Amino acid sequence: MVQRRIPRPHDLAPLMRFKKPTWDAKQRRLQSALTIQDLRRIAQRRTPRAPFDYTEGAAEAEISLARARQAFEDIEFHPAILRDVSTVDTGWEVLGKRVALPFGIAPTGFTRMMQTEGESAGAAAAAAAGIPFSLSTMGTTSIEDVAAAGGPDGRHWFQLYMWKDRDRSMALVDRAAKAGFDTLLVTVDVPVAGARLRDTRNGMTIPPTLTPKTVVNAIPRPAWWIDFLTTEPLAFASLDRWSGTVAQLLDTMFDPTVTYEDLAWIKAQWPGKLVVKGVQTLADAKRLTDLGVDGILLSNHGGRQLDRAPIPFHLLPDVVREVGRDTEVHLDTGIMSGADIVAAIALGARFTLVGRAYLYGLMAGGRDGVDRMIEILSGQIARTMRLLGVASLEELEPGHVTQLQRLVPRPAPVVAAPVPAPAPSAPRRRSASGSGARSTAAGAGTRTSGTRSRATGAPSTGAPRGDA
Ligand SMILES: Cc1cc2nc3c(=O)[nH]c(=O)nc-3n(C[C@H](O)[C@H](O)[C@H](O)COP(=O)(O)O)c2cc1C
């Protein structure tokens, strides 16, 4: 028989701890976010539809982006046990300088439209965390202001879109060099703008087109409007005023005739490191490496250009195997967690960039939101490394990662003479260790391996890619 009694407060006190209230609403909001998806939900609540969709959206049917995300979700990790992971080092050298974490902030255009603090918030948060910040040619904060926001500890990269007016493009490059930017990211996957259908449907123009729908959508988002109306007017920092959609702007300004020769010319003018952003085939990766670039960034522009473009994460092992000794291989598109970043490093990437994850943080809480985004990703990176049994990025290797099979590309079909149908035979019995069973070692069975050893470039234990 259970004996009951009246609860006494001093008995209850050790059993229940009340959370200290956080009076700062922004901090309360940000601390409630435990993942980038949580930051995204907060961002969506606070940002009008047109800028939110401009961030979130991709090209055409948005298949590239969905596939890139799926590829990360389909990772399987293979932890080593009984390792000393009491301390873990999440940093190493990227393009000749140390970074504290294996990711940086990707260049994004029109950033102050998402949240008024824009690039200054990104640059300051990146500098505080010891990671690089990339400023887009389509940025809404000047090169010099970004340098000032990052301060003396900031590491800044400038992203170049080559315009038809080459002198003006190179004048920007000059300014970036003078302001101490150490790396030029030359984006090469925008000969013309991708079809961002959400922007067309939302009437996303510069300046924003107000319709009755836009205004209704704005009503529950007063903070964004107050910021928008009471701060420096939104404008491209490096372009003239523009009236139209972003896609129209890209098509008017950008030079679709840019070739490898132009890239060599740009490289000759730039005193720092040069990375080519938007590499999507092994052949181009090899050609760029022969040209002597310092890095190639495997990227499909976050799915915003060619829909159904290759998934950068899938390209990674082959590109690392072929050119990884001669140039740094970086990767972006679809990264939403620290585990995604760890997997990319394990398969040989030297560095990764995050675009939307950063903008979700920015929209959720300005500079503090970007800090929170970095905190979430860095916590996930350190925890994933520890759980994998590695104490440094150098210890990560392809054997730590395999990928469930469904999204892995098959080789192009070889057209051969028709094979006669096999004679019918008795159905085979499945043994416990047979084809249907999961292998415990990296790579066999229904999965495909992350493929190569970082040190030797030799195939690892799994089935070769595309064998399924
Ligand atoms: C809103 C937005 C604007 C972007 N603007 C640019 C840009 O101006 N230049 C550029 O090279 N890439 C741009 N990108 C692409 C990013 O640099 C990066 O490749 C991409 O966001 C990575 O994918 P993720 O968003 O899934 O992380 C933009 C991406 C987004 C989401």
Predicted confidence (pLDDT) per residue in 403-442, tens digit: 887 767 777 666 665 555 554 444 433 333 333 333 333 3
Q: How much of the chain, in percent, has pLDDT values that exceed 70?
A: 85
On whether residue 8 sits in a domain, the answer given is: no
Pairing mode of beta strands 183-187, 205-206: unpaired
**If you measure from the C-alpha of residue 302 to the centroid of ligand 1, how many angstroms do you get, rounded to a whole number?**
6
Residue whose CB lies within 8 A of the most ligand 1 atoms, among 47, 56, 108, 250, for a mutation test: 108
Domain range holding 88? Answer: 28-395
301 catalytic, yes or no? yes
Q: Does any domain span residue 93?
A: yes
Q: Give per-residue pLDDT as tens, 139-174.
A: 999 999 999 999 999 999 999 998 888 888 899 999
6 CA from centroid of ligand 1 (Å):
61
User: What CATH number is given to the structural domain containing 176?
Assistant: 3.20.20.70
Helices (H), 180-311: 197-202, 212-218, 222-230, 246-253, 260-269, 282-291
CB 385 within 8 A of CB 88: yes
Task: Pick the closest to residue 410 from 365, 455, 467, 457 (CA basis).
Answer: 467
Number of domains comprising the chain? 1
Please name the amino acid found at residue 319: V
Q: Distance, CA 4 to ligand 1 centroid (Å)?
A: 62
CB 396 within 8 A of CB 390: yes
**365 within some domain:** yes
The residue with greater pLDDT, 165 or 112, is 112
Q: Which of 414, 339, 343, 417 is nearest to 382 (CA)?
A: 339
Q: Which of 81-85, 227-231, 246-250, 252-256 has the lowest mean pLDDT?
A: 246-250
Q: Tell me if 445 is assigned to some domain.
A: no
Provide DSSP, 144-165. HHHHHHH-TT-EEEEEEPPBSS
The verdict on residue 272 lying in a domain is yes
Q: What separation in Å is there between the alpha carbon of 390 and the centre of ligand 1?
A: 31
What tokens does 24 get? Answer: 């700062």
Choosing from 156, 301, 314, 330, the catalytic residue is: 301
172 assigned to some structural domain: yes
Which residue among 277, 304, 332, 359 has the greatest number of ligand 1 atoms within 8 angstroms of its CB, and so is best to mutate?
Answer: 304
Selected residue with higher pLDDT from 293 and 6? 293
The band of 466, judged by pLDDT with boundaries at 50, 70 and 90, is: very low
Peptide bond into 413 cis (omega under 30): no
**What pLDDT was estimated at residue 426?**
42
Q: Which runs of E-coded beta strand occur in 259-404? A: 273-279, 295-298, 328-331, 351-354, 401-404
Q: Is 434 part of a structural domain of the chain? A: no
Residue 417: the pLDDT is 57
Name every protein residue with a CB atom under 6 angstroms from any ligand 1 atom.
54-55, 106-109, 136, 138, 159, 187, 277, 299, 301-302, 304, 332-335, 354-357, 359
Q: Could you identify the atom of ligand 1 that is nearest to the CA of residue 354?
A: 27
Kindly state whether residue 458 falls inside one of the protein's structural domains: no
